[in-house]
Amino acid sequence: MTYRLTEEVAGRGADVVFLPVDLLAVTSRTALRAELGITHDLGEILRHWPGQQRGVLVVDALDAARSLQAQTIFRTAIDDVLLIADRWTVIASVRSCDLRYGTEWRAMFRGPPVAAEHQYSEFGRVRHLVVHRLTDDEIAQTTAILPVLHQVFVDANADLRKLPRNIFNLHLLAELVEQGVVGTDLAGIRTQSELLDWSIEALRDVSSLAASVALKKSLVVTVRFSPI
């Protein structure tokens, strides 16, 4: 979803920077600069980025920063952008449970919800947009980018068809298909627990956990404008 958002924003001619937290292994601000191929902190780069229109920094999978050290690094980088890069809007994705217990993230993205029909009441003071469970049509549109996955959904039993409504489950199915697991092997899956078991078993045979498709976990999209 955030990949598509990035493409759409860029397609409109806006300046956009995409930061995939789950693909960045960082232990320090220096390491983050090295991963991004820059010699100055991200906030400084965006502050001096030429242009007049609002730019967008998309931070994908904040919840992938599991260690306190990694969380601090990304939180500092985002905070720098909000404080000094006046024309940039920050959009970040995070699982609702991580936002629930992430007091620093809630404080950073404080403000009213984006839309009343797409909010969690517990985040009434967080500027957020909830991504609800997917409909069959939305699943069909999303899986169209991966025909094998689409066929899994089409052929699935009633219980399996319900699982991809949760984006995290859809992400797991996409990873399994990308790793060569065929639809007939998945046909017997009926619960999330069984899906997780399949996923864990498959991951034992691969060296990288990075997903190669733009299907992410159940998330809340948070939005914060830098002060002008």
The DSSP code sequence of 108-159 is: HTBS--S-GGG--GGGTTB-EEE--PPPHHHHHHHHTTSHHHHHHHHH--HH
pTM given for the model: 0.72
Confidence of residue 205 (pLDDT cuts 50, 70, 90): low
Please tell me which residue, 123 or 142, carries the higher pLDDT value: 123
pLDDT tens-digit series, residues 17-62: 999 998 888 999 999 999 999 999 999 999 999 999 999 999 998 8
Fold annotation for 2-132+215-225: Rossmann fold (3.40.50)
β-pair partners for 224:
90
The domain locations on the chain are 2-132+215-225, 146-203
Beta-carbon count within 10 A of 67 CB: 10
- Average pLDDT value over all residues in the chain: 83
The pLDDT score that the predictor gives to residue 204 is 59
**Residue 219 predicted with pLDDT over 60:** no
| Phi and psi at residue 57, to the nearest 5° | -100, 115
- For residue 142, the SS3 value is helix
Helix axes 68-84, 29-36, angle to 10 degrees: 70
